[in-house]
Amino acid sequence: MIELIKRFRVLLFVRTRAVTYRLLRILNPEYQGSGGASVSAGTGQALSPASRTSGAKVGIHRAVLLNSDGSDLNAEIVVFSLRGMGYDASETEYILSTLLTLGPELTSWELADKLASSLQRALAKDESAFHLGLYAKYLRHKQAVLENKRAYVPSGRFNPNAVFWPDPTEAGNGRSLYTELPVAKRTPIIDQNSRIVSAGSCFATEIAYYLMDNGYNYLVTEGNGSRDDNYEMLGMEGRPNASAAWGIIFNTPSFRQLVEKAFGQRELPHILWSQPHKGENLFFDPFRENVAFRSIADYEANYPQHVAAARRALEEMDVFIITLGLNEVWSFAADGSVFSRSPWKAAPSLIRTNVLTVEENVNDLLHMAEILRRFNPKVKIICTVSPVPLHATFRADEHHIVAANTHSKAVLRVAAEEFVCRCPETYYFPSYEIVTVSTENPWAPDQRHVSRAAVAKVMSAFVEMYVQ
């Protein structure tokens, strides 16, 4: 009822104003009114084609008050409005000279209504590509206006609390940052039968363990190995930390290389380093963090087995969860192949450092997804950023580790957003934000790894967002 009264009041105002303007023009033919859509502001002269279609120079050269779409428009504002709808200079000139008959009693509402009616009449006479293009721009403008009006309106959303920041001291808000999940919408792509694969930093291990412990169909094609096998994942307590023994993956080039290797798109250099571990000399692959071999022969024997296991996991999965860890990378200078983390024992003469940009990270992720979907077109990807800080930085001459970590996470967060925007069937999961912003005590005693309470909160959000 209240909305109906408001609409009637606006309609009454518009009609009364229109009649008033017409009476004023009858009584005084020189009167142009504050709207003056057919004249230039302040001159009393007709708006020339040049001023109508001034291209990039279109602007407002005299102060105008526009509190709402019900405010009066002058001539410059009409042109400004049409250009804002996406019409170029020639289209604006055509609309003003051919389609619209404008009087001084004009608001943005009325301009849009007149334009819609005029375009519909034009289409009825001539359904040309030109007229269809003009009408399509009008419809896009109409949708943009609706979205603008809704921008900060909480109602009508999956989570009305997603709009405004929690503030327990504010009347009418009263929400705590630490008692709600930062979930804006649900995308229920997982059920108990969905085959899930994960890869990434040590936080990805937490996700894998949760899924295995809670009855999800976490796909494992290669276990941790053991002393009796030709490889062994060090530091694991029985359960695999990933779907195949590709080790911990910290950077986006390593995700790309994993998929390239699994599907035969490239072969990484067979270079190892050795170091003592609990009284024996072990061999390590720079592309498979914490995967140890007891001889070079074991490494060579395991290489094709691992590639086959990785391919099976990537081909058979329904959902691929990846966590991005850092953007400081080491690579072999000769071919640019990137280590999964740091070259603990590699020959310094063979390697280089690089700090990846947002676009470099995005390109690696897009290339990974493009290859992956050639062989597994149905897979859905969930991308997140690990909250676990960098262990060390090679930029310490200029940047403290805290500053280097903040830069790294900021770059990866933006890269994840761009990747999700550009890659279909790809979703961002805010584990980074849940830990670093929405959890009151997020850290384990080492102040780097994530507390059990934080992991529980992250996985509650995961279930809320993705599980059917």
Edge-to-edge order in the sheet of strand 273-277: 232-233, 291-293, 280-284, 273-277
pLDDT at 242 exceeding the cut of 80: yes
pLDDT band at 73 (very low <50, low <70, confident <90, very high): confident
The model's pLDDT over 97-135, given as tens digits with 9 standing for 90+, comes to 999 877 656 788 889 999 999 999 999 999 999 999 999
Reported pTM: 0.84
* Per-domain boundaries in the chain: 1-27, 32-150, 196-466
Point out the least confidently predicted range of 37-51, 145-159, 362-376, 385-399.
37-51
Helices and strands in the chain: count of H runs, count of E runs: 13, 10
24/31 Cα distance (integer angstroms): 7
Which residue has better confidence, 10 or 458?
458
3/9 Cα distance (integer angstroms): 10
186/462 Cα distance (integer angstroms): 10
The model's pLDDT over 158-175, given as tens digits with 9 standing for 90+, comes to 999 999 999 999 988 889
pLDDT of residue 100: 87
